[in-house]
Amino acid sequence: MDHMTAEIVSYYRDRYEEAARLGRRPQSRLERIRTLELLREVLPEAPARVLDVGGGPGAYARDLVAAGYEVRLVDIVPAHVEQARAGRPPVEAVVGDARSLPEVDGSWHATLLLGPLYHLHQPADRVRALREAIRVTEPGGPVVAAAISRFAGPIDFAATARFNERTLDEAVRLRSSGVNDASTGFTQAYFHRVSELVGECAEAGLANVTIHGVEGPAWAAAEAAIGGPSEQAVFEAALQLARVYGTEPDLVASSCHMLAIGTAPARG
Ligand SMILES: C[S@@+](CC[C@H](N)C(=O)[O-])C[C@H]1O[C@@H](n2cnc3c(N)ncnc32)[C@H](O)[C@@H]1O
């Protein structure tokens, strides 16, 4: 295992409780609601076979299993795989790397890649992960890949009153480099510009790609409203805007997460 992968495994095993993430904050609640809505729009009907690569402890896989899908989760963190297997409903899960999937060509009706792209620093590795997702998906089947916006971190720090000189420097640095400075938080990570995500999908051969902003442009306002009298009203408005502006090109990168949704091309 390379040192970056080892760092990601130890981060999720020892320093971060991924299983609790999606219910915690307005940003992550918006992320979950909108991701599930988009999956409902693009996935084939249950009982289709869905491969969930980088599925973590199984937040989405469990919903899909409950909805009648046949799901297998692949994740590089053994602790996540154990949690996915032990959850309710349990999820079939294996340890594996998105860059080299232990799966047969075209054997899944749809593939999710909701995590690995933003943990891979090198463009070649990200394209490899996308190519693998495409390879294992039947031609015409959807591939859904998540990226974190280049601007999400500094916006988050500003909205939650954690902005200081260090985060200002980081905001400036991120304009020219998408590599996360792990000393400011999170772990080994890469934050995309929209053009990079589009370019990597094209290089990997993903067809019919649309880039969606997941949480919409007002997620940070919902964070800033926590504990105030307008908390619920701002959250509801942020959700509506996320739906209305989801594919608005001028606003996509104002979301925290972006989803590239495309299809596996016909094999030549
Ligand atoms: C923030 S979590 C997201 C989990 C879940 N997909 C979700 O969207 O809530 C990112 C996940 O990607 C996994 N991951 C990172 N790099 C990976 C790789 N190269 N191959 C497979 N999984 C990877 C991590 O272990 C982690 O479980």
**C-alpha distances in Å from residue 161, one per residue of 108, 157, 234:** 44, 6, 17
In this prediction, residues 173-185 reach a mean pLDDT of 90
How far, in Å, is the centroid of ligand 1 from the Cα of 237?
29
* Band (189; pLDDT cuts 50, 70, 90): very high
Residue 12 near ligand 1, beta carbon < 6 Å? yes
What pLDDT shows up at residue 245?
98
* Band (56; pLDDT cuts 50, 70, 90): very high
* Band (259; pLDDT cuts 50, 70, 90): very high
* Band (169; pLDDT cuts 50, 70, 90): very high
How far, in Å, is the centroid of ligand 1 from the Cα of 118?
9
* Band (185; pLDDT cuts 50, 70, 90): confident
Kindly report the backbone phi and psi dihedral angles of residue 164, in degrees, each rounded to the nearest multiple of 5, phi listed first: -150, -170
Token pair listed for 28 = 């992550």
What pLDDT shows up at residue 1?
78
Token pair listed for 214 = 């997941």
Which residue, among 51, 41, 87, 90, has the nearest Cα to 247 in the 3D structure? 41
Q: What is the mean pLDDT of the chain?
A: 96
In the chain, what are the domains? 3-263 (3.40.50.150)
| Integer-rounded Cα radius of gyration of the chain | 18
* Gap between the Cα atoms of 226 and 83, Å rounded: 30
The pLDDT of residue 236 is above 80: yes
Q: Measured between alpha carbons, how far apart are the two ends of the chain, in Å? A: 34
Residue 59 near ligand 1, beta carbon < 6 Å? yes
- pTM for the predicted model, two decimal places: 0.97
The pLDDT of residue 184 is above 90: no
* Gap between the Cα atoms of 90 and 84, Å rounded: 6
What pLDDT shows up at residue 87?
95
**C-alpha distances in Å from residue 73, one per residue of 55, 169, 232, 252:** 6, 38, 34, 28
Task: Convert the pLDDT of each residue in 18-37 to its tens digit.
Answer: 888 777 899 999 999 999 99
* Sequence-separated (6 or more) residues with CB below 8 Å from residue 190: 117, 118, 119, 120, 121, 126, 148, 178, 179, 180
Task: Convert the pLDDT of each residue in 239-253 to its tens digit.
Answer: 999 999 999 999 999
Closest C-alpha to ligand 1, atom 4: 56
Longest dimension (CA), the chain: 58
* Band (260; pLDDT cuts 50, 70, 90): very high
Residue 257 near ligand 1, beta carbon < 6 Å? no
Task: Convert the pLDDT of each residue in 60-88 to its tens digit.
Answer: 999 999 999 999 999 999 999 999 999 99
What pLDDT shows up at residue 183?
82
Residue 18 near ligand 1, beta carbon < 6 Å? yes
What pLDDT shows up at residue 16?
86
Task: Convert the pLDDT of each residue in 84-113 to its tens digit.
Answer: 999 999 999 999 999 999 999 999 999 999
Closest C-alpha to ligand 1, atom 16: 116
